Chains A and B, each alone.
Chain A
Amino acid sequence: MDEEKQKKPRQRQKNKGVSTSPIKLELLITVVEKKKADFYADLIQSYNCNMQIKVLARGAAGLEMLDYLGLTATEKIVLFSPIRKDKRNEIMDALEEKFKSIKRGKGIAVCVPLSSVIGKQVFGFLADDERLIKE
């Protein structure tokens, strides 16, 4: 009994300040040709995505395959974009449509769930949740 009493305040202290939001975040990773990176970054931003990171990369297709296809440049941009889970399907559908329809605009996009974000303000910024704006 005494042990239980001692454990309870410790548990409370551990959970102090921890809150969960109904809004979940995912990390969208998009790999596109360098020239089309700005276009796709703008497209993703239009779906309540307030921050994106662009990383210069190169495709890892085998040299034999590149020779066969007559390609030389494989410069790519990887976009890391935290997005709201409820917007995921909308964004992915839009990307899929653009990948198919835009000339030399092919790419891949995958979504990875994020388990936690530290800081209410940061979360509000990433989730584009105006209720969490600090006044």
Chain B
Amino acid sequence: MEDVKYETIFCIINAGFAETVMDAAREAGAKGGTVMSGHGTANKEAEQIHKITVQSEKEIVMIVVEAKIKDEVLKAINKTAGLNSPGKGVIFSLPVSRAVGLAGNQAEEKTQE
């Protein structure tokens, strides 16, 4: 397994809650993010049985963070926008094998020079 310096956090959340996610992430140390629009699908039968309507308009928030602060960011997002919140966010992270263009990267390069 390669040495992972960064992680990409994905948060799939009800439309309109992207800012809530970003605020929580920023407080935990994230610098920025990207918001995409999506359309969720849910099990219709399960929705009927549980008498729950899943809002299908979704936003996908993508945040690249340093691996060392990943857990704090995940916890912060889960606290304010997790499944038990109105945003009903599903949050997960993926390891990054290489990253370019990040503010932290440039800072590292500058210090090396």
Could you tell me the distance in whole angstroms from the C-beta of A98 to the nearest C-beta in chain B?
Answer: 10
Q: How far is the CA of A78 from the CA of B8 in the complex (A)?
A: 14
Q: From A89, which residue of chain B is reached at the shortest CB distance?
A: B98
Q: How far is the CA of A29 from the CA of B47 in the complex (A)?
A: 33
- Determine whether A41 belongs to the interface, using a CB cutoff of 8 Å to chain B: no
Tell yes or no: B32 within 8 A of A by CB. Answer: yes
Contacts of A107-135 to chain B: CB distance below 8 A: 107-113
Q: Mark B58-96, 1 if CB is under 8 A from A, else 0.
A: 000111100000000000000000000000000000111
By the criterion CB–CB under 8 Å, are A99 and B98 in contact? no
Q: Is A60 an interface residue (CB 8 A)?
A: yes
Is residue B37 contacting chain A, with contact meaning CB distance below 8 A? yes
Minimum Cβ distance to chain B for residue A91 (Å):
9
Q: Across the two chains, which residue of chain A brings its CB closest to B26?
A: A62
A60→B97 contact, CB < 8 A: no
Q: Which residues of A lie under 8 Å from residue B95 when comparing CB positions?
A: 112-113
Q: Write out the residue numbers on chain A whose beta carbons fall within 8 Å of the beta carbon of B32.
A: 59-61
Give the interface residue-count category, chain A: 20 to 34
Specify the chain B residue showing the minimal Cβ separation from A32: B101
Instruction: Kindly state whether residue A51 has any CB partner on chain B within 8 Å.
Output: no
Q: For residue B97, which residues in chain A have a CB less than 8 angstroms away from its CB?
A: 26, 88, 111-113
Chain B interface, >50% SS class: strand
A96 located at the interface, meaning its Cβ lies under 8 Å from any Cβ of chain B in the complex: yes
Chain B residues touching A, range: 20 to 34
Task: From B62, B63, B100, give the contact of A109 (CB < 8 A).
Answer: B100
Kindly provide the distance from the CB of A89 to the nearest chain B CB, expressed in whole angstroms. 7
Interface of A is mostly: strand
Checking A60, A92, A111, A113 against B34 with a beta-carbon cut-off of 8 angstroms, the contacting residue is A60
Point out residues on B near A: beta carbons under 8 Å: 6, 8, 18-19, 22, 26, 32-37, 61-64, 94-102
Seed contacts A78-B62, A107-B101, A112-B97; 20 additional CB < 8 Å A-B pairs? A26-B97, A29-B62, A57-B37, A60-B32, A62-B22, A62-B26, A88-B97, A89-B98, A92-B98, A96-B100, A99-B101, A106-B101, A108-B99, A108-B100, A108-B101, A110-B64, A111-B99, A112-B94, A112-B95, A113-B95
On A, residues with C-beta under 8 Å from B are: 26, 29, 31, 55-62, 76, 78, 88-89, 92, 95-96, 99, 106-113
